[in-house]
């Protein structure tokens, strides 16, 4: 059965795509959930407006992500941690610690899974951390680990 996707369906396509799927998949999953409509002559004309709307949403979300990336990259993020002798941390600074610090200091909510640390930070000083905000928008933040007051 040919259907026109109304929303993004993972591993199938984006809004406005005309795809061929199994009849049961269309009848039992896609159509009842409003993810797709049958590809009729009138609906095929509607495809171009769906594609334009999807493209404008993606462009707007990308522009917002780039603004947030510029704001995040411009200011260093400070994280306080307990420190022992020689500047080594008790424990480590993890991705969730960095995500919490970003939220507290900038007001931008970043999921801990989008904070890419090659390994947890275990020393005081300045470290570079990559954050994934949107496809192809991955700013590199400066994280300053400082000793906390006892």
Taking only the tens place, the pLDDT of each residue in 27-63 is 999 999 999 989 888 777 778 788 888 889 889 999 9
How far is 144 from 126, CA to CA, in rounded Å? 4
Query: Which residue would you say has higher pLDDT here, 32 or 87?
Result: 32
Cα separation, 123 vs 129, in Å, equals 14
List pLDDT tens digits, range 102-149.
999 888 898 999 999 888 888 888 999 999 988 888 898 899 988 886
Question: What pTM does this model have?
Answer: 0.68
Mind listing the domains of the chain with CATH numbers?
2-63 (3.40.5.10), 75-147 (3.10.430.100)
Sheet containing strand 18-20, edge to edge, reads: 18-20, 2-5, 36-38
């Amino acid at each position: 059965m040919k259907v026109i996707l109304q929303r993004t369906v993972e591993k199938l396509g984006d809004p406005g795509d005309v795809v061929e799927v199994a009849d049961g998949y269309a009848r039992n999953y896609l159509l009842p959930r409003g993810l797709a409509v049958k590809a009729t002559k009138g609906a095929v004309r509607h495809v171009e407006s769906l594609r334009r709307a999807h493209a404008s949403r993606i462009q707007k979300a990308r522009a917002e992500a780039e603004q947030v990336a510029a704001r995040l990259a411009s200011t260093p993020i400070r994280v306080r941690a307990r420190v022992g002798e020689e500047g080594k941390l008790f424990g480590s600074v993890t991705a969730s610690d960095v995500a919490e610090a970003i939220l507290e200091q900038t007001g931008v909510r970043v999921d801990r899974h989008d904070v890419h640390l090659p390994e947890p930070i275990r020393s005081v000083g300045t470290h570079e951390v990559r954050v994934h905000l949107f496809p192809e928008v991955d700013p590199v933040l400066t994280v300053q680990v400082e000793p906390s007051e006892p």
